[in-house]
Structure 1
Amino acid sequence: MTQDPAVADAHHATGPGVVTPQDPSVSHRPTRIPWGGLLVLAAAGFTAVTTELLPSGLLPQISRDLGVDESAVGSLTAVYAAIIVFTALPLSRFLAGRVPRKTLLIATVLAFALSNVLLALSPALGCAIGARLLGGIAHGMLWSSMAPYVARIVPAHSVGKAMAVVFSGNSIALAVGAPIGTLMGSLMSWRASFLVLAGVGVLLAGLAFWLLPGAHDNASQKTPSLRAAMKLPGVIAVAIAWPLLLLAHFTLFTYVAPFLLASGLPESATSISLSVVGIASLVGIWIAGMTADSRPRASVIAAVGLLTLTFALLPALGGTWVGAFGLMTLWGIAFGAVGIYNQAAILRAGGEHKDAANGLTVVTIQLGIALGAVYGALALTTVGAQLVPLAAAVPTAIALVIIIASRRGGYPAGPREKRR
């Protein structure tokens, strides 16, 4: 059998987490990219992120219908994130090797559908919270299993490109998913929005059964070990740097409305700016898909450096339409790219324990998102709304230092960078 060129390159590379011919995950390496299956996974990611964000857009309707305060409805988002933190790692470790990867992904998509049906039929807040707990469990399992699965069903030299396709669903959901769901809720009802999402989930499960290839692990592969994964310095670097970038993003994303108002822009600028960030992130994902496999180190450093500079300049230049939306376009491009670079980095760094390493980042990312809102609130009350972007630049700069320092572990040079 002819050796994959990407595997041959990796065999001569140094540093932990590099895929070698002895890595069990590269046995029976596919030679084609299953584009149909990747698009189904991207749609599943779109549905997951839309499911996570939709209660925020429909909060007043849900509050009136269930007869509770809006602050109480906010618990639908809080419990969703909390259950991910507590269940993603234990469940992914327990199910690894016991349930085929394709079957697990289809089951998580169906769990999303069931969660949304139960939420749409909830007569009281307690029932709605129970439905959201099921959705959160499915969310954690989807993101814990999706990236390692994708890494097994595409050629080794196309992992970055495949990740860019699959994770484009996240950015599309941020740009149009939640707004469309909110619009549907205003035209029909909040319950109808979740029922439509449930129907989409059932359709995707059927398409996944038809289009997703099987991904069988080598019989000699070890059970994913979180302890072994955490001993790899590259895993720790990515598991810290990536959540710091999410923390920075949500520090400003959560409080972009007061920032824009304090900068002198009208209230209508908020919805436009959020869509600009989401749409621009698709450009970043496209760029990352072109560079994540060949020049991962230089590319991630450039993207995180651009993100740091953008946050630092927003307080000074964000007071005009041109300055604000120009910088927000750069914000979206950089943020869309860093997600792909970091996803590829954690799979490389984890090596044979890539499943456990990826599960670890699912948890730390949720913590980063939650802490981003808290950190942003602290910045809002201490330094003021106009300096919130500067507060976001601090964790971004720390992440940049970690990435630069992790040359051999989490963020090594790619094949073309080594040849140069």
Structure 2
Amino acid sequence: MSQDTNSQLLGVVLLVRHGDRQGFYQDPQTYTATATQITPLGNQQEFMLGSYLRSLYLNQSSPLYIAGMSTGVFNPSQVYIQADLGGEDGVIYDSCVSLTQGLWPATLSNNITLANGSTITAPLGGYQYVPIESVDPNLSVSLEGFTSCNTFNTHTTAFYNSSTFQEMATQSASFLHSLPPYLNGRSVQLQNMWNIYDFMNVNNIHNATFSHALPTSYLAQVQTLANWHEYNVFSDRNIGGVGNIAGLTLLPSILNGFADIANSTNPVKLSITAIAYKPFISLFNMTGVASANPSLAGIVDYAAAVALELRQPAGGGEPVIRFNFKNGSDATFVTYNFLNRTGDVPLSAFIDAMAPVAVNTTAAWCNVCANTHDRGCAALALATDQGQAAAQPKISPAGAGVLGAGLTLAVVALMGITLAFLGLLTIGRFGRRRSRHPSAVCDLFSRLL
């Protein structure tokens, strides 16, 4: 399907990586991480990205302006924003704050007139305090599906033990053994490739002595190996395979965004999710963007962004999706083909491909990841056991006749509350909105189309 140059932009689902930060260590096996902190450069990168997005989507003179969107004072009914609060110790959330500053800059219109007639403008020249939903990985698996996922760890181990990995280790051994002078004691094993790259990249940006001493080609070679390493860890040949878990748990957020935008009665037309680099890798793999564009099979740059534009074709019919990507300091978005199609892809095709493999609930994640202990899985298993036990009363038939029904109802009700809290009915939407199961999303679209 070709791109319709006259199609109407209905709204956008944005996926954004954080900006520049300090050093960051990840366990090569489990990807558990140490703390880090955003830098002023990172804040500036995100602010500039937000300003660019504003010039496209919140500018009435732009051909990509989202009709009806407020261009001055932030309108919370039109936007949904969430940010990962885990992994990189607040860096992603802080980046998202800077992003919103660029999207909705300070304005003197951000004021209020009091009963006594005086007008009060918000601090800092009308600074806009944009609400961002923080997604705690201890409460939701939606933005960090790979953490504490046992089957994902097995997938990673299998990759490290594969002949492909061993061949690359042999090929790269000579180069890796030349790196110790630039790694301050870090392991030069291929398995540690992410940490090698991150240490060198961070120091190349922030340490002038290191940057001047580093041979010209070294960082590019290290990044190439890190891209290969991370792509193989966070992708899978099977679209629903556990290697794609970072993307599989992100899919409900994307589907929810499209559902909001396609629903003409819902005012939300811009959905923003701030994440780390891992879900990008899985998403590019699942959509076929990486296979068609090998340069994208790896770690996206700081402040990279995917803009999934939902559009209404000029000739009518169902909405279509346009896949745009801007890698860090790139000047503009580039449009990519995806799902093995040319041009814009029908919304129904995206749903058909992605909804069946989306991991929508904590219960589903616990099952996929073979986890009965972490991130709510233990309480979920306990609640299930309690429900089963309640169905098998251990009292006399007479006593059961008096107490059984009431006790069972009480325990089942408690179990239902527990499961709802843990994510049996929701994944990653706490507070402002309730998540939809993909089947409900599909039902919604079947009514709209």
After TM superposition, is the score higher than 0.5?
A: no
Which TM-score applies when normalising by structure 2?
A: 0.25
Judging by fraction of residues, say which structure has more strand. 2
Which TM-score applies when normalising by structure 1?
A: 0.27
More relative contact order, 1 or 2 (CA 8 Å, 6+ apart): 1
